[in-house]
Every structure is written in C-alpha cells, then in structure tokens.
Structure 1
Amino acid sequence: MPKHSRRYLEVRKLVDRMKYYDVDEAIDLVKKTATAKFDETIELHLATSIDYRKPDQHVRGTISLPHGTGKKVKVLVFAKGDKAKEAQEAGADYVGAEDLVEKIEKEGFLDFDVAIATPDMMRVIGRLGKI
C-alpha cells in the first residue's frame, strides 16, 4: 500500500467527502487545498432539476471573466495617413500598408491574432486572400 505524503494527509482532513458544498465554500476549499505553484484549472459540476426534453428549460448563456482570458490579442492594422496614426494611438501592435503586405507574403509574418483594414486598403490586401 503506497504511503501518502504529509501534505496530502493534511489536505484530506479539510475535505468532507460526504458533504455537498455551496459554490463559495467549494472555491475557498479549492484555494486552501491547492498544491501546485501555478494557477490550476478547476472543474465544476452542478446538479440541476432541469428536464432537457422541454425546450423552455434549456440552459444557455455566456459569462465574462473578471480578468479576461489572460491572453493579449495582437492587432495588425492596414491603413495609411491619418487612419494609421489613429490606429497607432488606439494601441494597435502593427500598423502599415504595402510594407506589411510584402512582409506577410515574403517573410511569412503571421505574429498577430486579428487583422483589420480601412476600405481603401482592400485592393492591396486582396493579394493575401490565399494566406
């Protein structure tokens, strides 16, 4: 029979396996018993009295996480002149016109998550349709 660690035995005393915890209690317990040195993922199971055969009882919805997903979105903007300046001031990571198109075509530059363009740049970025 394998011997459990001291930490495991201490944590085991905190958890009552026969008790149903409300959400706040469960989250506090998860935080107390966490052993990893990074932000761990937790899984949540809820028991509901919903009958999924009835269309008015389906659960649908979205939530917004209070601190986002933690990933910074890199934005590339195809624009010229004043619109390029506006994009730079708004916080775009990459701003350019034909130079960015060439960089993407020749160097395979794809270090961005979202690309947007002004209407006058559509004919220039049309060449990128294959990428």
Structure 2
Amino acid sequence: MPKKRGKKYTEAAKKVEAALAANGDGGLAPEEACKIVKATSTSKFDATVEAHIRLGVDPRHAEQMVRGSVVLPNGTGKKVRVAVFATGDKVREAQDAG
C-alpha cells in the first residue's frame, strides 16, 4: 500500500516528474532545477536547498581532483573580532586600524 501524501506534495512531485521526463537523460540543468525548486516551494520562509552534482571525475587520480572555494554574497554572518595587546605607539596604530 503506497504512502498517503498531501495535496501540495503530490502536485510538486508531478511537476518534478514532468520536468525529468521532458529532459530524458535522467538529470536537469542547474538553471532548470532552480526554477523547479522555486515553483514547488510551499514554505513561508527562505528555505535551504541541497544540491548533489555529478562531475564525472575520479578523485583517486591526482589530475582529476576537485578543489575550490566560494565567496558567499552576504558573508558567513559572523562578525570578525580582533584583540590587540600592545603598548606605546602600537596602541594608536591598532585603534586607527579599527
């Protein structure tokens, strides 16, 4: 007996299945996937989305390693605080630096 799901869930699942069937190769382009995520969202808050991407590389080979960094548009949300222990002229330099 299949699990009973809500109306909003089943409508969202139909949209996702239709997009996957239209694509045919088993995956979606990132732009298309983002559009579907936004269209099927039912939450009243800014939800988090987790993405799994197949890069087609073998990490056991040194020439195929994937490394990188991302700069977030609003930072990490944490303020950076610096403590300075100084005497003499270095005190004024630290205060001028902020």
- Which of the five TM-score ranges fits, normalised by the shorter chain? 0.5 to 0.7
Q: Which runs of 5+ in 2 are unaligned?
A: none
TM-score by length of 2: 0.65
Identity of aligned residues (%): 36
TM-score by length of 1: 0.52
1:77 aligns with 2:83: yes
Q: Secondary structure at the match of 2:83?
A: strand
Displacement after TM superposition at 1:76 (Å): 4.1
d(CA) in 2 for partners of 1:50 and 1:68? Answer: 29
Q: Which runs of 5+ in 1 are unaligned?
A: 91-131
Higher relative contact order (CA 8 A, sep 6+): 1
- Give deviations 1:80-114, integer Å, cap 9, x for gaps: 65235424xx3xxxxxxxxxxxxxxxxxxxxxxxx
Displaced runs of 4 or more, over 6 A = none
Partner letter of residue 54 of structure 2? A
Q: Secondary structure at the match of 2:70?
A: coil
d(CA) in 1 for partners of 2:62 and 2:94? Answer: 49
Instruction: Describe the shift of the 1:36–1:77 C-alpha distance in structure 2 as closer, same or farther (beyond 3 A).
Output: same
Structure with the higher strand share, 1 or 2:
1
